[in-house]
Amino acid sequence: MPTLADTHVGMGDPIDPESSDLLARLYAGIASEAPWQSFLEALARWMASTYATLILTTPGQRQPGTIVTPGADPQFSEDYISSFFADDPFRDLPEGQVTSLAQFAATHPDALFPAYREYLQLAGGEQVLGLDLRFGSDKPGRFEARLRVSRDASLPDFTANDRVRLQSLVPHLRIAVDLFEKLQFAGAQRGVFHAAAQGLGLALVVLDRARRIVSTNALAERFLGEGEGVSRRGDEIAFAATADRKTIDALLSPLDGAAGAGVTRFRINRPAHGDLVATARPLALPAIHSGTGALALFLARPASDMRLDPQVLRDVLGLTMAEARLACVLNAGLTLVEAARQLGIAHNTAKVQLRSVFAKTGVHRQAQLIAMLATLAN
């Protein structure tokens, strides 16, 4: 069977239609409503296999960010996620090299495999080719793509040519997964950037998983340009205080549980230019990391004259619009009963919304909430 490499033999030579269709589905499917589905269906046919699976995950997580296996029994897929994924022994393969399950098992103790083999038998067979691609392996927020192609017991074993055939996809898969992450990231940052960039008195710096600066607004550029406390170092953000840098690194690392950390606030000391209050909100990229993969960092002077706006609070603190409206009304000095009456909602509804606001902002009392809001709009 021809490989993708065999299709590029000369300017006048025809391109293998099946290979061309496979690549078209790979790149077109990145932004589709069901990413990877069409490509994996075509890949299974191209490899004369039963199933093709793609897993996007962060090492150490108990749940994958994304797992797609077109045509598989939904119950088997659910069983894998809930019972087998975290203990799947067929992982940590040589980066970028197609490896068969038989090759892998030959170099590992048999004790690792009984439960996994039982699962494979239930799913249809033990013939599996695996490919692991790792992204940002030396940076916070690293993730990997695991591609698995399997055949049931009724089909011939995978051959060396089959492995070469799958290996030819590696450069294209690297590009496609990298583009997919960028699209996920762009979608995550769009909302918070829009609200803060409209002259509402907040500086905004959006960071990727490697602490690189992806986007800023004009006020953020001014603060960074002042070079005190926080600054730009090449394409990365730099902090004068080690504690500030560690805070940001922890928020960008899914392994530290940042996805559930909510909003984090800290003060950036700047004796010459005036301190800044930083409000850091992780931006979840669930399709990749099953957690955070980026960060929105809002900066404001403690004496800012910004007027609190529900839209701003929604984007900065990750609230719903109803919760943001309640927070704004409470910030004006009203009691919860008075706030509920002004908003036209039941007192019990206001209590439920306030509890949610507390959970998302990390405060425990209304007075603490007002004090926190003061850092955004004193």
Q: What is the pLDDT of residues 84-117, one digit of tens each?
A: 777 788 888 999 999 998 788 777 766 556 666 6
Which tokens is 203 given?
């500086």
Using CA atoms, how far apart are residues 268 and 27, in angstroms rounded to an integer?
43
Domains of the chain by start residue, with CATH: 4-168 (3.30.450.80), 189-304 (3.30.450.20), 307-378 (1.10.10.10)
State yes or no: pLDDT of 247 exceeds 80.
yes
State yes or no: pLDDT of 209 exceeds 50.
yes
Nearest residue to 189 via CA among 284, 253, 256, 257: 284
Average pLDDT in the 81-85 region? 75
- pLDDT of res. 334: 81
- pLDDT of res. 4: 54
Confidence band of 10 (pLDDT split at 50, 70, 90):
very low
Higher pLDDT, 353 or 15: 353
- pLDDT of res. 32: 82
Backbone angles phi, psi at 140, to 5 degrees: -60, 150
Average pLDDT in the 143-153 region? 90
Can you tell me which residue has the tokens 């943001």? 324
Q: Tens digits of per-residue pLDDT, 181-194?
A: 877 766 656 655 55
Can you tell me which residue has the tokens 């093709």? 52
- For 28, 189, 257, 357, the CA distances from 299, given in Å and listed in that order, are 38, 16, 23, 21
Put residue 24 in one of left, alpha, beta given phi > 0 → left and psi -120 to 50 → alpha: alpha
Which tokens is 12 given?
């006048």
Average pLDDT in the 216-222 region? 86
Average pLDDT in the 203-232 region? 87
Using CA atoms, how far apart are residues 116 and 58, in angstroms rounded to an integer?
20
State yes or no: pLDDT of 333 exceeds 80.
no
β-sheet bridge partners, residue 281: 296
Q: Tens digits of per-residue pLDDT, 47-73?
A: 999 999 999 988 777 778 888 999 887
- pLDDT of res. 233: 92
Confidence band of 174 (pLDDT split at 50, 70, 90):
very high
- pLDDT of res. 125: 58
277-295 residues labelled b (16+ CB within 10 A) or e (exposed): bbbbbbbbbbbbbbbbbbb
- pLDDT of res. 291: 52
Q: For the chain, first and last CA: distance in Å? A: 69
Average pLDDT in the 2-27 region? 67
> Average model confidence (pLDDT) for the chain?
80
Confidence band of 2 (pLDDT split at 50, 70, 90):
very low
Q: Tens digits of per-residue pLDDT, 263-297?
A: 788 889 999 988 898 888 877 666 776 555 678 88
Average pLDDT in the 162-178 region? 94
- pLDDT of res. 1: 46
SS (H, E, C) the chain: CCCHHHHCCCCCCCCCHHHHHHHHHHHHHHHCCCCCHHHHHHHHHHCCCCEEEEEEECCCCCCCCEEECCCCCHHHHHHHHHHHHHHCCCCCCCCCCCEEHHHHHHCCCHHHCHHHHHHHHHHCCCEEEEEEEEECCCCCCCEEEEEEEEECCCCCCCCHHHHHHHHCCHHHHHHHHHHHHHHHHHHHHHHHHHHHCCCCCCEEEEECCCCEEEEECHHHHHHHHHCCCEEEECCEEEECCHHHHHHHHHHHCHHHCHHHCCCEEEEECCCCCCCEEEEEEEEECHHHHCCEEEEEEEEECCCCCCCCCHHHHHHHHCCCHHHHHHHHHHHCCCCHHHHHHHHCCCHHHHHHHHHHHHHHHCCCCHHHHHHHHHHHHC
